[in-house]
């Protein structure tokens, strides 16, 4: 067993001046599963893109199978036997599974026409060889994420990859799907493949990895046998300080129902019934967690609650007041805050400064404006205060948001949404893709809000998060609420899984 890949002193600076890798050294042994963990913004993804030829480092050497190589693009990487499965799967949704697997090296008849028989034969062989079962003739868009991911892996395997990189493969999977993935990865290892596995879920790292490298702030902090480190030790190496993992006790008292959703239906432009008769309540002083695999109507539900989308039918009440059909501004004026699912798309204006991002819901109010005129001095003061209070790492309130790391961008969003004296917080995937430190802070802030009698509606695909801070849990599947759990302390991830996959349902 030798070293298949060795990275020496890799330095990568992005055009905007962000130094993502500051001299990273890693040796990956052949035929192992090597986990790379680190907070978001630590430089993991950049490093993987360098190995796969999608980014070119400024300094450093890459040795692949003992030879010094320069990888200029992903085609070269593939030719060398390196494959990568991206976090956001890259498949053509309107092609069949077989066509997707073969895409790029399709067998052709007379140099012009696709040879569909050969395509099927080749892909079938590959499926058999690697023990992957996928419906070859179905369209990719009709399949769940777990299967799509397997298609991606097959795509890599059929190109004879020996080193396979998986970038946060479990972030889109349910616990059951994750198990299936891990089984496959172990089989691939048994067949002699080497796997680099990126994650920030430490439990998984312990389960699957042989070796683990911890990256912090663009540098490799440690590389160890996974069995020699506990979850806790890895976490501490990742953040560089002590952190707690326990479930946080619930608030003492919950008040009356504040947000009431009644028989909500939503039919989208494609005539799909996205939300089906959804009803629930969020009480003051509780965190109601909505668990579910992404794409089961959560996005639409949140957008309807915050006025960004109009429901087809149904009613929404805040306290005694019906707010169905209100504009986003009306709803915000009534004390609703919204931490959006996609912070770059909705949560910030990247090219604007931090302060311009902070005032988007309050620029027209006193003291930030007198009549039509903005008071930039007051705005700056207010923003600097929030930067301090929420520990946002930035030079000043006039720094553009694009210069911040993911975690800090989320802090800007959270700072704005929590400083508006909300009565209801709608938090949609509030910690997705941010580092452990920022995640902890967001959780703490949401729980403080809860303790202050604010109603919190938490939507998350991350079950750890749901189980950690929710007072009650709902599960959504295919636009319907299929289960409710009143005491999350007694609930496990495995119990939630079947509901999330639609295998089981309590409510009708």
Partner 1 sequence: MEKFIVKYFHLIRTIIAVLIGIVISVLIIFIISKNPGFSLKSFFLGPLLSKGRFGNFIETASPIILCGLAISIPFQAEQFNIGAEGALFIGAAVGTAFAVSTHMPAILHITTVLLIAGITGAIWGFIPGILKAKWNTDELVISLMMNYVAYFLGLYLINYHFRDKSAGFLVSYELPKTAWLAQFVPGTRIHLGIIISFAFAILTYYFLYHTTRGYEIRTTGINKNFARFGGINVFMVIVLSQVLGGFLAGIGGMTEVMGLHRRFNWQLSPGYGWDGVVVAIIGRNNPIYIIFAALFLSYLRTGGQIMNLLSDIPSEMVVAIQSIIILLITAEAFLERFKYRITIREAKRKEAIDEPNN
Q: 3-state DSSP call for residue 499?
A: helix
Q: Residues 370-409: x/- map of binding to partner 1 (CB under 8 A)?
A: --xxx-x---------------------------------
DSSP tag of 227? G
Residue 268 in the binding site for partner 1 (CB under 8 A): no
Taking CB under 8 A as the binding criterion, the range among 16-24, 67-75, 472-480, 496-504 that sits at the site for partner 1 is 16-24
Footprint on residues 314-333 left by partner 1 (CB under 8 A): 327-329, 332-333
Residue 89 in the binding site for partner 1 (CB under 8 A): no
According to CB under 8 A, which one of 168, 356, 428, 439 is a site residue for partner 1?
356
Residue closer to partner 1, measured from CB, 228 or 321: 321
Residue closer to partner 1, measured from CB, 281 or 361: 361
Residue 346 in the binding site for partner 1 (CB under 8 A): yes
Query: If you count them, how many residues does the chain have?
Result: 508
Residue closer to partner 1, measured from CB, 256 or 342: 342
Residue 363 in the binding site for partner 1 (CB under 8 A): yes
Closest contact distance (angstroms) between CB of 58 and partner 1 is 6
Q: Which helix (H) or strand (E) holds 151?
A: helix 145-158
Residue 352 in the binding site for partner 1 (CB under 8 A): yes
Do residues 343 and 409 touch, judged by C-beta distance below 8 A?
Answer: yes
Residue 425 in the binding site for partner 1 (CB under 8 A): no
Contacts of 123 (CB under 8 A, 6+ apart): 97, 98, 101, 102, 136, 154, 158
Q: What is the token pair recorded at 101?
A: 């697997």
Closest contact distance (angstroms) between CB of 307 and partner 1 is 8
Closest Cα to residue 11, out of 25, 21, 1? 21
Residue 224 in the binding site for partner 1 (CB under 8 A): no
Residue closer to partner 1, measured from CB, 328 or 453: 328
Closest contact distance (angstroms) between CB of 452 and partner 1 is 23
Report the distance separating Cα 244 and Cα 219, nearest Å. Answer: 24
Residue 95 in the binding site for partner 1 (CB under 8 A): no
Instruction: Give the residue ranges of DSSP H helices in 228-350.
Output: 231-239, 298-305, 328-333
Closest contact distance (angstroms) between CB of 364 and partner 1 is 5
Q: 3-state DSSP call for residue 410?
A: helix
Residue 245 in the binding site for partner 1 (CB under 8 A): no
Residue closer to partner 1, measured from CB, 13 or 248: 13
User: What residue has token string 């798309």?
Assistant: 345
Helix axes 145-158, 175-190, angle to 10 degrees: 20
Report the distance separating Cα 427 and Cα 458, nearest Å. Answer: 5
Helix axes 231-239, 436-451, angle to 10 degrees: 100
Residue closer to partner 1, measured from CB, 245 or 364: 364
Report the distance separating Cα 258 and Cα 281, nearest Å. Answer: 7
Q: What is the token pair recorded at 431?
A: 């910690």
Closest contact distance (angstroms) between CB of 450 and partner 1 is 23
Q: 3-state DSSP call for residue 389?
A: helix
Closest contact distance (angstroms) between CB of 145 and partner 1 is 24
CB neighbour burial string for 291-311, b if at least 16 within 10 angstroms, e if fewer: bbbeebbbbbbbbbbbbbeeb
How many other C-beta atoms can be found within 10 angstroms of the C-beta atom of residue 197? 25
Residue closer to partner 1, measured from CB, 199 or 405: 405
Taking CB under 8 A as the binding criterion, the range among 77-85, 140-148, 343-351, 466-474 that sits at the site for partner 1 is 343-351
How many other C-beta atoms can be found within 10 angstroms of the C-beta atom of residue 253? 11
Q: Residues 45-84: x/- map of binding to partner 1 (CB under 8 A)?
A: -------------x--------------------------
Residue 369 in the binding site for partner 1 (CB under 8 A): yes
Closest contact distance (angstroms) between CB of 378 and partner 1 is 13
According to CB under 8 A, which one of 18, 120, 207, 403 is a site residue for partner 1?
18
Burial class of residue 417 (count of CB atoms within 10 Å of its CB; 0-12, 13-18, 19+)? buried
Residue 28 in the binding site for partner 1 (CB under 8 A): no
Residue 347 in the binding site for partner 1 (CB under 8 A): yes
Residue closer to partner 1, measured from CB, 141 or 329: 329
Closest contact distance (angstroms) between CB of 357 and partner 1 is 8
Residue 335 in the binding site for partner 1 (CB under 8 A): no
Residue closer to partner 1, measured from CB, 70 or 329: 329
Residue 22 in the binding site for partner 1 (CB under 8 A): yes
C-alpha distances in angstroms, 300 versus 1, 447, 461, 478, 504?
Answer: 51, 25, 15, 12, 23
Residue closer to partner 1, measured from CB, 59 or 231: 59
In the β-sheet with 67-69, what is the strand arrangement from edge to edge?
19-29, 3-13, 59-64, 67-69
Residue 17 in the binding site for partner 1 (CB under 8 A): yes
- What dihedral angle (degrees, nearest 10) is formed by the CA atoms of 153, 216, 458, 469? 110
Report the distance separating Cα 191 and Cα 185, nearest Å. Answer: 10
Binding residues for partner 1 (CB under 8 A): 11, 13, 15-19, 22, 58, 306, 308, 327-329, 332-333, 338, 340, 345-352, 356-357, 359-361, 363-364, 369, 372-374, 376
């Amino acid at each position: 067993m030798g070293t298949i890949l060795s990275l020496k002193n890799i330095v990568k600076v992005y055009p905007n001046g962000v130094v993502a890798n500051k001299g990273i050294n890693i040796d990956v042994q052949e035929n192992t599963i090597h986990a790379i963990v680190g907070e978001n913004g630590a430089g993991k993804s950049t490093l993987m893109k360098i190995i796969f030829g999608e980014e070119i480092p400024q300094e450093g050497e890459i040795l692949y199978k003992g030879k010094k190589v320069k990888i200029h693009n992903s085609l070269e990487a593939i030719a060398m036997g390196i494959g990568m499965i991206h976090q956001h799967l890259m498949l053509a949704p309107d092609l069949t599974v077989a066509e997707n697997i073969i895409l790029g090296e399709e067998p052709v008849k007379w140099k012009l026409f696709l040879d569909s028989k050969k395509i099927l034969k080749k892909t079938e062989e590959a499926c058999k060889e690697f023990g992957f079962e996928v419906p070859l003739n179905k369209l990719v868009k009709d399949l769940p994420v777990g299967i799509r991911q397997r298609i991606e892996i097959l795509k890599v395997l059929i190109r004879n990859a020996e080193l396979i990189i998986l970038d946060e493969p479990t972030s889109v999977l349910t616990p059951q799907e994750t198990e299936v993935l891990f089984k496959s990865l172990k089989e691939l290892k048994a067949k002699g493949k080497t796997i680099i596995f990126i994650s920030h879920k430490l439990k998984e790292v312990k389960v699957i990895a042989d070796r683990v490298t911890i990256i912090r702030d663009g540098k490799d902090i440690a590389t160890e046998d996974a069995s020699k480190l506990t979850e806790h030790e890895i976490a501490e190496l990742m953040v560089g300080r002590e952190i707690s993992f326990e479930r946080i006790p619930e608030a003492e008292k919950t008040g009356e129902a504040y947000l009431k959703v009644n028989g909500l239906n939503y039919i989208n432009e494609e005539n799909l019934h996205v939300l089906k008769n959804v009803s629930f309540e969020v009480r003051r002083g509780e965190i109601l967690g909505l668990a579910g695999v992404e794409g089961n109507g959560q996005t639409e539900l949140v957008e309807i609650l915050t006025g960004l989308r109009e429901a087809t039918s149904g009613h929404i009440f805040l306290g005694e007041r019906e707010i169905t059909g209100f504009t986003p501004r009306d709803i915000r004026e009534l004390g609703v805050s919204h931490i959006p699912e996609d912070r770059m798309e909705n949560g910030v204006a990247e090219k604007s400064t931090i302060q311009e991002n902070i005032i988007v819901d309050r620029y027209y109010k006193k003291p930030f404006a007198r009549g039509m005129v903005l008071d930039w001095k007051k705005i700056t003061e207010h923003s600097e205060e929030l930067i301090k209070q929420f520990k946002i790492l930035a030079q000043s309130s006039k720094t553009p948001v694009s210069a911040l790391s993911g975690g800090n961008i989320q802090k800007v969003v959270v700072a704005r949404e929590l400083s508006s004296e909300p009565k209801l917080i709608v938090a949609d995937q509030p910690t997705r893709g941010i580092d452990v430190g920022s995640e902890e802070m967001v959780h703490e802030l949401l729980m403080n809000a809860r303790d202050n009698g604010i109603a919190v509606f938490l939507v998350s695909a991350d079950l750890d998060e749901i189980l950690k801070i929710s007072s009650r849990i709902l599960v959504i599947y295919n636009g319907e609420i299929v289960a409710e759990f009143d005491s999350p302390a007694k609930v496990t991830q495995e119990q939630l899984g079947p509901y999330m996959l639609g295998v089981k349902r309590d409510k009708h």
